[in-house]
Amino acid sequence: MATTDQRIHAGEGPAPATPAQGAGAAGAPAGAPAGRVHPVTVEVVRNSLPAAADEMADGLARSSYNMMIYEVRDFSCAILDTEGRLLCQNVGGVSHFVADLGVVVQDAVARFGLDGFRPGDGFIMNHQRVCGQHLNNIVAYAPIFTAGQLFGFAVVRAHWVDVGGMSTGFGAAGGGVTDPWIEGLQIDQLRIQRDGEFDPALLKLVLDNVRYPDSALGDLRAQLAACRAGGQRVEALVERYGIEAVTLSIQRLFADSERRCRRVVADIPDGEYTASSFLDHDLADLDAPLEIAARVVVRGSDMTIDLTGCARQRRSSINSRTRAAAYVAYKAVTAPLEPVNEGSFAGLEVVIDEGNFMMAEFPAPMAKWSIPIPTVVDTILAALAPAMPDRIPAAHHASLGGGIAFFGVDPATNRRFVTQTVEGGGWGGRPDADGQAAAVSVCQGDVRNAPIESLELKYPLVVARRELRADSGGAGRHRGGLGMTTEIQNLVDGTWSFTVPPREKCPPWGLFGGGPGVPGGIELREGPDQAYQRIGSGRRPVRAGASARIMSGGGGGWGDPADRPLDDLDADLLDGLVTPEAAEERYGVVVDRSTGLVDRAGTATRRSGRGR
C-alpha cells in the first residue's frame, strides 16, 4: 500500500493537521440502466441536455444587466432531477457551483413537497443555511413539467452586484463581517413567480433592499427566462422520445460517466495520500493561519477525499458549506473534458465534518466563502502528485482572480454605479508544458476579466495598463504561468473594494523540484502625486484621481529549473516573461546582456562549478 505525505509549508505556518473521523455525502450512486433504449436515442439525449444548458447560458448572457454576468460570466446553468441530481451543466459554467446546486433542490422539495410546484412557478434562493456561499450568488430556478408530471428543475446561479448590507461587489470585503445579516438580504426559498407573473409584494421587498434595483430586476428576469428556455428544451426532448426512453438514457449517461471516472482511479495505486497547506490568516485574525489538510484514500476504483483535518469554522467570513473543492479536484483528475453530471461523482466519497470551515454551521458569516477553495483543490492535487506524477500540475495562483470592485455616484448622470472585474493569474507548470498565464482559478470555469473597452465606456474609469507580470511564474523544467498587473484610475470620488488572497507565507508551490510562484497583492495610490502603498482586504473611499494596482500571483514551477531547455529560456527572455536577473538567480544561467540571451559557454562553466 502506498502512503505519501506532502507538506507544503513555505515559511512559518501551522503543522499538518491530523484528520479526524467524520461522515459526508458522496454523489448519488449511478447504477446500471434498468431497461433498454436505442443507442442513437442515448446519444441524442447525451448531447441535447448540455445543449439546453448552453442555450440557457447564452440567453442569460445576452439579457442580463450586470457585467459580472454578461462579460465576466460568473454564473452556472444546470438542469437537475427531482432528487437534486445533476443532469447537465453549461460548458464553461463556474465549476465550484456544481456541488451546491442539488442541495437547493433537495431543500425545496423537502419544504414544498413534490406536489408543491406548478407550471409557471419561479423561485429565488441564497440563504446560507443551504447555499453556503456569499449572498451575492443568487439561485433562480423553475420546475420542469412533462406530460403534466414534475420532471425536474432548471437552475441558474449568478452573481448579483448587490444584495444589500455590505454586499456591493464581491460580498462584504475585509474581515469585519460577523454574521449574515450584516452581509445582505437573505432569501430563503422565495416563490417570486406564480403562473409566470411576479408576486408584486415579494418583488418589491427584494428590490427595496438592494442598491441597484434595475440591475437586480434585469438579472432576475434573465435568470428565470433562461430557466424557461431550459425547461422548454427538456419538454421537447421528452415529447419526442417519451419519458421512459429519456429516463433510461439519463441512467446510461450517469453510468457511463461513473465508469470513465472509475477507470482513471483504478489506475492509481491503492493507498492513503496526504498533503497540507494553509492561508496566512482568515481575514479577521491576522495571526491565525487557516490550516488546510487533505487525505485522499484510493481503494480500487473508489476514492475518498477527507477534509476533516482542516481548520474549524472561524468568526470571520471565510466560512462556507460546500463540497466544491473535492468535486473540482476529482473531476480534474478523472474526466476534465467530459460533460459533467451526477455520475461524474458517483465513485467519490467526500468527508467533511460539521463545524469545519468548509461545512460551517449557520449563522457563520460566509461573505468570503470562495477564497480558500482553490487552495484546497491544489492541496488535494498535491496529495495525489506522487501517485500521478504524469498528470498533476504544480500549484496555481489559487485565488478567485484578484476580484475588485469600484462603486459610487456618477456626477454626469447622478446615478449610482458599480463596476467589477476578475483578473486572472498564473497556473502551475505541468508535466509536459509550462503553466497557463493570466487565467482564472480552477474553480471558475470560463469566467474572464471585464474588457477594458467596457470598463472605460460604461464607467468613470481609465485602465492605465493590463499586462503580464514578469518573473511571477515559478522556475522549473516547465515554468509556472505568469500573473497579471492591472492598473486602474478612478475619475470620480468613490469606494474601492478589494479582496487580497492571504497566500504570501504559503505561495503557489512547485512540484518535483520546481520553484514557487510569486504571490499577488494590491497597491493603492491616493492621488497622482503620491506613491503606491501596499494594502490589505477591505473598502477604501477615495477621491477622484486615485489609482489601484492589482497584481495577481504566478503559478509554481514543475521539475528542476536546471533541466529547462535553454531555447525555452531564451524565448522567455526575448518575450520579457523572465528578466535576466531572475534567469541567472533561479535557473543558474549566465545571460549575455548585449544579446539578451543565455550565454551557453558561460552557463556551462557556471553550472559545472555547481556540480552539474
Residue 87 has pLDDT above 90, yes or no: yes
* Over residues 542-555, mean pLDDT: 96
Least confident of 157-171, 231-245, 267-281, 327-341: 157-171
- Looking at residue 538, its pLDDT comes to 83
Least confident of 187-201, 239-253, 389-403: 389-403
Rounded to the nearest 5°, which phi and psi values hold at 264?
A: -70, -45
How far is the C-alpha of 64 from the C-alpha of 157, rounded, in Å? 13
For 75, the enclosing helix (H) or strand (E) is strand 75-81
Residue 281 has pLDDT above 80, yes or no: yes
- Looking at residue 189, its pLDDT comes to 98
For residue 469, the SS3 value is coil
User: What are the strands of the beta sheet with 2-7, ordered from one edge?
Assistant: 2-7, 271-279, 290-299, 302-306, 348-351
Residue 204 has pLDDT above 70, yes or no: yes
Least confident of 107-121, 283-297, 390-404, 495-509: 390-404
Q: How confident is the model at residue 7 (pLDDT cuts 50, 70, 90)?
A: low
Q: How confident is the model at residue 239 (pLDDT cuts 50, 70, 90)?
A: very high
The candidate with the shortest Cα–Cα distance to 90, out of 495, 471, 446, is: 446
Q: What is the pTM of this model?
A: 0.93
* Over residues 336-350, mean pLDDT: 96
The candidate with the shortest Cα–Cα distance to 434, out of 468, 400, 485, is: 468
How far is the C-alpha of 154 from the C-alpha of 88, rounded, in Å? 10
User: Is there a contact between 491 and 410 (Cβ–Cβ < 8 Å)?
Assistant: no
- Looking at residue 385, its pLDDT comes to 98
What is the residue type of 148?
A: G
Q: Which residues, 6 or more positions from 608, have their beta carbon under 8 angstroms from its beta carbon?
A: none
List, for residues 519-541, the tens digit of each pLDDT value: 999 999 999 999 999 998 888 99
User: Is there a contact between 233 and 146 (Cβ–Cβ < 8 Å)?
Assistant: no
Tell the residue number behind the cell numbers 426559498, with chain if given: 189
* Over residues 54-81, mean pLDDT: 96
55 vs 401, higher pLDDT: 55
State the cell numbers at 477.
523544467
How large a percentage of the chain has pLDDT more than 70?
A: 92
* Over residues 437-442, mean pLDDT: 94
- Looking at residue 6, its pLDDT comes to 65
Q: How confident is the model at residue 19 (pLDDT cuts 50, 70, 90)?
A: very low
Please give the torsion angle defined by the CA atoms of residues 238, 243, 247 and 248, in that order, rounded to the nearest 10 degrees: -110
Q: Is the peptide bond before 386 cis (omega within 30 degrees of 0)?
A: no
Q: How confident is the model at residue 17 (pLDDT cuts 50, 70, 90)?
A: very low
- Looking at residue 99, its pLDDT comes to 83
Least confident of 126-135, 400-409, 413-422, 441-450: 400-409
592 vs 2, higher pLDDT: 592
123 vs 288, higher pLDDT: 123
- Looking at residue 22, its pLDDT comes to 34
Question: DSSP readout, 477-513?
Answer: SBPPPP-EEEEEEESSSEEEEE-----SSSPPPPBTT
